[in-house]
Amino acid sequence: MKEIEMLEKLKDTREKIIEEIHRVIVGQDEIIEKVLIGLFSGGHCLLVGVPGLAKTLMIRTLSRVLDLKFKRIQFTPDLMPSDITGIDVIEENPESRQRNLRFIPGPIFANLVLADEINRAPPKTQTALLEAMQEYQVTVGNKTYPLEKPFLVLATQNPIELEGTYPLPEAQLDRFMMSIYLDYPCIEDEKKIAEFQMFDVMSEISPLLNAEGIIQFQHIIRSIPVSDFVINYAVNLVRNTRPNNGKCPEFIKEYVNWGAGPRATQYLILGAKTKAALRGDINVSVSDIKSIAESILRHRIFTNFTADADGIDSGKIVNKLLEKIPESV
């Protein structure tokens, strides 16, 4: 009974969060919904879109609404791993003249970390995020420092300007629960944006939740049961992204080099739980899986040259799979 009450509270909180964000951001309802799914699932998100779509402003506003410690890291070609994780410095005691190492934490020590234009930093620097994203800790020298929970990395990437960028390695991409693509606003929203005067609205944003409340909701969400029917559908969907699976559709064998791994299945189930919880429901359905499948699978499917030549990207492949794979397995 307590879980039902908590889910109703989460539903009301979600509506208030979206209302508060819309004081600063025009439109982008689907994007905000997916970022909230990532947040309450405890999964990192990669936001892909051209400049000027308010990716950075949206994340900053979210941190204010949720009353989370926020840090922004601007990724550049000369950014070093220590600029992210922190560094040991030598300090000398003026009385004893004894020297000791003191750790100065980097910007990764926050609840919500914005990795802006993550593909502009070299792979060595990108890899500095791996341990933090997977293990929720940072190792500097011989010491390991735990990160405060909740911990969420929201990275942005420009899909057009590729000069001077470094593609994210597969291991890094797999750490992101969702890859969220932002498109240009519709004409009605663009008219509102043209008329919108933000002034200092950000200072008037009211915190609606805190770190403790988010962790509590995350625990409730993970305890939601999922039927075998829904689990079987998620497993079957992911397995059919792999060309070495003899039962996969022909277009997978033709266009895909590598499919999604088991982590994709875990994220599909967890994301579907969160999707249901955000509407105050404990019944997870196949439609919940379908609604988040593209964002979870798109960056885990690697296409071949044939797909490139035919203008087929991983997003189109996921949507085609959703049409082909039956709900009953």
DSSP-based three-state secondary structure for 166: coil
Segment 55-74 shows an average pLDDT of: 87
So what's the pLDDT on residue 44? 92
DSSP for 229-240 reads HHHHHHHHHHHT
Q: At what angle do helices 286-297 and 314-324 cross, to 10 degrees?
A: 160
Q: Are the C-beta atoms of residues 238 and 290 closer than 8 Å to each other?
A: no
The 10 Å Cβ neighbour count of residue 148 is: 12
Question: Which residue from 189, 271, 214 is spatially nearest to 22, judged by alpha carbons?
Answer: 189
The 10 Å Cβ neighbour count of residue 4 is: 12
Segment 268-286 shows an average pLDDT of: 92
pLDDT digits (tens, 9 = 90+) for 130-165: 888 888 988 887 888 899 889 999 998 877 766 667
User: At a CB cut-off of 8 Å and minimum separation 6, what does 133 contact?
Assistant: 44, 153, 175, 176
So what's the pLDDT on residue 177? 93
* pLDDT band per the 50, 70, 90 thresholds, residue 45: very high
Cα(105)–Cα(145) distance, integer angstroms: 9
Q: Which residue has the higher pLDDT, 52 or 12?
A: 12
What is the strand order of the sheet 152-157 is part of? 70-74, 112-116, 152-157, 44-48, 176-181
Model confidence at 200: pLDDT above 70: no
Within the chain, how many helices (H) and strands (E) appear?
14, 11
Give the predicted TM-score (pTM) of the model.
Answer: 0.88
Q: Are the C-beta atoms of residues 98 and 92 closer than 8 Å to each other?
A: yes
Residue with tokens 């915190």: 207
Segment 55-67 shows an average pLDDT of: 85
Q: Are the C-beta atoms of residues 272 and 293 closer than 8 Å to each other?
A: no
pLDDT digits (tens, 9 = 90+) for 292-323: 999 999 999 998 999 889 889 888 999 999 99
Q: What is the DSSP letter of 243?
A: T
pLDDT digits (tens, 9 = 90+) for 108-123: 999 999 998 888 888 8
Phi, psi of 88 (to 5 degrees): -90, 130
User: At a CB cut-off of 8 Å and minimum separation 6, what does 195 contact?
Assistant: none
Question: Which residue from 86, 80, 34 is spatially nearest to 59, judged by alpha carbons?
Answer: 34
Q: Which residues of 112-124 are buried (b: 16+ CB within 10 A; e: fewer)?
A: bbbbbbbbbbbee
Residue with tokens 């690697």: 302
- The domains located in the chain, with CATH, are 1-223 (3.40.50.300), 224-329 (1.10.8.80)
So what's the pLDDT on residue 26? 77
Tokens at 8, concatenated: 């109703």
Question: Which residue from 14, 50, 16 is spatially nearest to 35, judged by alpha carbons?
Answer: 14
Q: Are the C-beta atoms of residues 101 and 88 closer than 8 Å to each other?
A: yes
Q: Report the percentage of the chain scoring pLDDT > 90.
A: 29
Q: What is the 3-state secondary structure (H, E, C) of 79-116?
A: CCHHHHHEEEEEEECCCCCCEEEEEEECCCCCCEEEEE
So what's the pLDDT on residue 92? 76
